[in-house]
Amino acid sequence: MPGVDRGPYEGDPEDLAEQWVARHAEWRRVAALMDGRGWPIYSPEQDEQGSAWARARDAQREGALARRAAWQMGRQDARAELKAQVWLSGGVSRRLRTVATRTGLSPEQILAQLADRVRLDDDGALTVDTFTPH
């Protein structure tokens, strides 16, 4: 039902069932540990296995968060990029290839440097000052 807040029950019911099975198994492990060692209360510091699992989960969570942040940065960078296909006349294309050959750059790199230097004047005209591709 759209618009209804289901809280912790949002998502796939099978995933929720698997989570509860895992939680139940962990509670049973903790109860057996407490009974076996005669602990009146649970002490995470004394639970070597549980502490090791918690550290592994924390490391996994931090790695996942770092990968997600890197992925998001990549997506932001990708959205900021513009990929264009340019059709040039034969004469302009030959001049561009000549410049590219002389500078050791690709025609695409020359055009990218040209685009970096474009200014829009007050009257709407595009202007590029003289520059040397590098």
What value does the mean pLDDT take over residues 45-49? 91
Structure tokens at 76: 């932001």
pTM: 0.44
Which of 54-58, 70-74, 79-83 is predicted most confidently?
Answer: 54-58
Structure tokens at 65: 């968060």
Cα–chain-centroid distance for residue 104?
Answer: 34
Three-state DSSP class for 119? strand
Q: How far apart are CA 46 and CA 34, in angstroms?
A: 10
Average pLDDT taken over every residue of the chain: 88
Residue-wise pLDDT for 73-132, tens only, equals: 888 877 777 778 889 999 999 999 999 999 999 999 999 999 999 999 999 999 998 888
Residue-wise pLDDT for 109-120, tens only, equals: 999 999 999 999
Give me the count of residues in the chain. 134
Structural domain spans, the chain: 12-80, 90-127
The whole-number pLDDT of residue 107 equals 92
Is the pLDDT score of 17 beyond 80? yes
What value does the mean pLDDT take over residues 33-37? 94
Identify residue 119 by its one-letter amino acid code. R
- Quote the percentage of the chain above a pLDDT of 70: 93
